[in-house]
Amino acid sequence: MTEETWHQARLIPTSGISGADEQERRATSALLAVMMSVREFGRALCQPLGAPAGALETYVEVPFQLGERKIFPDGLVRSRGRKKSWTALVETKTGTNTLQADQLESYLDVAREQGFDALITISNEIPPAPGQHPTKVDKKRLKKVSLHHLSWSQVLTEAVMQKEHRGVADPDQAWILGELIRYLEHPRSGALEFDDMGQSWVPVRQAVAQGTLRATDKTAAEVAAKFDALLRYASLRLGRQLGTDVTVSLSRREVADPSLRTQALTSSLAERGQLSGAIRIPNTVGPMVITADLRAGQVTCHVDLDAPHTGQPKTRVNWLVRQLRSAPDSTRVEAFIAHQRGPGTAELLQAIKEQPLLLLPDPKKEPRSFRVALSQPTGAKRGSGRGSFIGSVLDATDAFYADVLQHLRAWSAAPPKMRDETAVEEEPVPPPLVSTSLSSQDGTQQQPGSSASTAPTEATPERAETAPV
């Protein structure tokens, strides 16, 4: 037997997982152990949830008595700071298993009785908005105990960000964190990618094509929630590749009241057959807006940026074209003219490269802003992979950032230049107009008819006597 067939020993092996329960226990134990061992990773996960900056203690399957029942949460995390201690119960699900409301409410009751601070749930469910929980529980149980949710995609993203981009001080701990990443990326770990648009996807897509979908339909709200979850997954996925925090862009009102976002999406889906959202990537010219048109079968990514404030209109168009060298010729560019209402003019990049003024019907009018967009066909399948809606949205997001967005820079005016006094040539002053008073300018310029070697450095007595009064 050759060495090529040998399997390298792993700290957290994926072999030997016999079923869903074993899969869940192994994922929970591996995660909590690494959180305790790799301090930077544990802090990255727990501090946003309210834990103090102390060393973590982690336990699995801790027994508690609730009335006549014995309760076994999957885990417990404790952080002891200088002034306070923070304790949270942990409940995990792997694979396609979902969190159950009655089970979570029992754990919340245990946490309240024990004086614990929080309950953390981890599953493959991705809520439509940050801060939301995928499972509805009785709000009365949340008065003294907070409820937090992490998706396995978010856990994996934090692990990759910490190891590859933020860094781990101890090399051995960095290796341990790498073993957790390797485990979570394995299909048998149960930490799945976002791979399903839900049971309502096909009926909604057909209703959109037939024009029978209404904003009040329950299926429309379910698809809208799944689309927002897809945007969050796309943000996490892109953030892992870029090493930065990529987030879904929401208004303050939508953050305060998530139902407003759902209403807007369902109305757009019923009226125009479109689902739209934006993600924000640090240091880019603007949010990436992603629009899925189910009627046209296209997904479009676009970004808006201000046009330069100086220069000729043609020069301003060329400023944008120069930044789009890596963009495909099918990229669409729109120009919005200052003080003009309605849509702007649009042309493909290939045509604009040859004739920049195609984008400006009136060359005398100045463009106020530009929109750069890239479209591609959408898949119809509800799952993931080739021919799926999820795969087409993720591919469009990656392509737009790689070919367009990362190359765009916002325009900024050139700083004013300081006047160079030594480069200014002054006109010679006729001798009759030379002052007889001493000046800081005496001797700095050559008088007409004199040589550089004989030029006086100050007014001589003879010259002073002959100078006119």
The residue among 407, 423, 451 that closes a domain is 407
Q: What is the mean pLDDT of residues 358-374?
A: 87
Range of 163's domain? 8-189
The more confident residue out of 468 and 337 is 337
In a domain, 447, yes or no: no
Q: Are residues 132 and 214 in the same domain?
A: no
Among 405, 428, 314, 425, CA closest to 367: 314
Q: Residues 403, 327: contact at Cβ < 8 Å? A: yes
The identity of residue 40, as a single letter, is E
End-to-end CA distance of the chain, in Å? Answer: 114
Q: Residues 279, 231: contact at Cβ < 8 Å? A: yes
Q: Are residues 257 and 172 in the same domain?
A: no
Q: Is the pLDDT of residue 12 over 90?
A: no
Q: Are residues 34 and 147 in the same domain?
A: yes
Q: Are residues 241 and 263 in the same domain?
A: yes
The residue among 407, 431, 462 that closes a domain is 407
| Interval 121-130: pLDDT, tens | 999 998 877 7
Parallel, antiparallel or unpaired: strands 85-92 and 118-123: parallel
Q: Are residues 270 and 343 in the same domain?
A: yes
Quick one: pLDDT at residue 313?
86
Number of domains in the chain: 2
In a domain, 231, yes or no: yes
Its pTM stands at: 0.78
Q: Are residues 182 and 248 in the same domain?
A: no
In a domain, 426, yes or no: no
* Percentage above 70 pLDDT, the chain: 87
The more confident residue out of 449 and 462 is 449
The more confident residue out of 342 and 321 is 321
Q: How many H helices and E strands in the chain?
A: 13, 14
The more confident residue out of 289 and 18 is 289
Parallel, antiparallel or unpaired: strands 367-377 and 345-348: unpaired
At 453, the pLDDT band (50, 70, 90 cuts) reads very low
Q: Are residues 40 and 108 in the same domain?
A: yes
Q: Are residues 134 and 207 in the same domain?
A: no
Q: Is the pLDDT of residue 437 over 60?
A: no
In a domain, 442, yes or no: no
Q: Are residues 228 and 290 in the same domain?
A: yes
| Interval 196-255: pLDDT, tens | 898 999 999 999 999 999 999 999 999 999 999 999 999 999 998 898 889 899 888 888
In a domain, 453, yes or no: no
Q: Are residues 180 and 296 in the same domain?
A: no
CATH of the domain at 45: 3.40.1350
Among 244, 252, 300, 248, CA closest to 128: 248
In a domain, 171, yes or no: yes
The residue among 389, 407, 425 that closes a domain is 407
| Interval 64-114: pLDDT, tens | 988 888 999 999 999 987 788 999 999 999 998 999 999 999 999 999 999
Quick one: pLDDT at residue 102?
93
Task: Rank 196-200, 414-418, 436-440 by mean pLDDT and report only the highest.
Answer: 196-200
In a domain, 62, yes or no: yes
